[in-house]
Amino acid sequence: MEKLIDKQRVVQHMNGRLLRNNVLKFLFFLATLFGLIVLVVLLYRIFTQAIGWLNIDFLNNFPSRRPENAGIKAGLVGSLWLMVIVAPVSLILGVGTAIYLEEYAKKNRFTDFIQTNISNLAGVPSIVFGLLGLTLFVRELNLGRSVLAAGLTMSLLVLPVIVVAAQEAIRAVPNQLREASYGMGATKWQTIYGIVLPAAIPGILTGSILALSRAIGETAPLVVLGIPTFLAYLPRGIFDTFTVMPMQIYNWTSRPQADFQNVAAAGIVVLLVVLIFMNSIAIFIRNKFQKRY
């Protein structure tokens, strides 16, 4: 005997589900709208403060005790020097670690332990890496407050992020490509170099550039290392002292003169432009090379 369907109960049940769906949709919309409003207000305040101070002289001048003469040249060049160390060190170590863990290491408790710790390190506060860099690079290795010491410290900061991103990119490569390569007589390394890495490059570079964007905007580890906030010359090598844009901005915001707040806003705009440029490169690489296999 067929069961009779209570249409009224079905309609009530559907109406309840639709109501919950609409309520949750509205809450998600409010959350998104709140974030956008805060972002717009923040950008509006920064740009309105910076509009009269952002010019060519600001990019070409060194820091000064006078707001009208202050510039971000030392911080901009110092940030580029920092990337000269961070980019190759973190990419080589990070991608190499990911290749070993995904392609060579046996799956056992030890590798699971390493994987867990790498994932945990990605969430460690940046100031902890600053303390490590101060102890190991500045004092034990006697590198001082140099570009090299800061670069190695920031490399440790972004290394777990790059390892995880590279692992995910390598893991996403279909096994059929590896099996086809082995079937053609290729060795393990030939398969990795000729098949796996080219297919994983978009994900690896996207994650790496986003990690480097974090490094160029970090302040806490550099404060712990004692990187100067006021520097009126440019570094000539990796063993010279230097400063970076976030440190200069931090210094300007702590000054009592009101005009230095506008100078700090101009520095924030320059830093945002650099970060947007780096993130745009990551998006371009992802869109250009996505699903090339």
Instruction: State the 10-residue block means of pLDDT for the chain, 293 residues long.
Output: 63 82 93 94 89 87 86 90 92 93 87 87 87 91 90 92 92 88 87 88 86 88 88 88 90 86 90 87 75 56
**What's the pLDDT at 86?**
93
**How big is the CA angle at 211 (ends 226 and 156), to the nearest 5 degrees?**
50
**What's the pLDDT at 94?**
93
**How big is the CA angle at 241 (ends 240 and 242), to the nearest 5 degrees?**
115
CATH-assigned architecture of domain 58-289: Orthogonal Bundle (1.10)
**Beta partners for residue 166, in sequence order:** none
CA 121 to chain centre: 14
**What's the pLDDT at 156?**
92
CA–CA separation, 187 and 72 (whole Å)? 51
Under 8 Å between Cβ of 205 and 95: no
| Domain boundaries of the chain, sorted by first residue | 7-50, 58-289
CB proximity list for 32: less than 8 A, separation 6 or greater: none
CA–CA separation, 272 and 253 (whole Å)? 16
Please name the amino acid found at residue 109.
Answer: R
**What's the pLDDT at 257?**
85
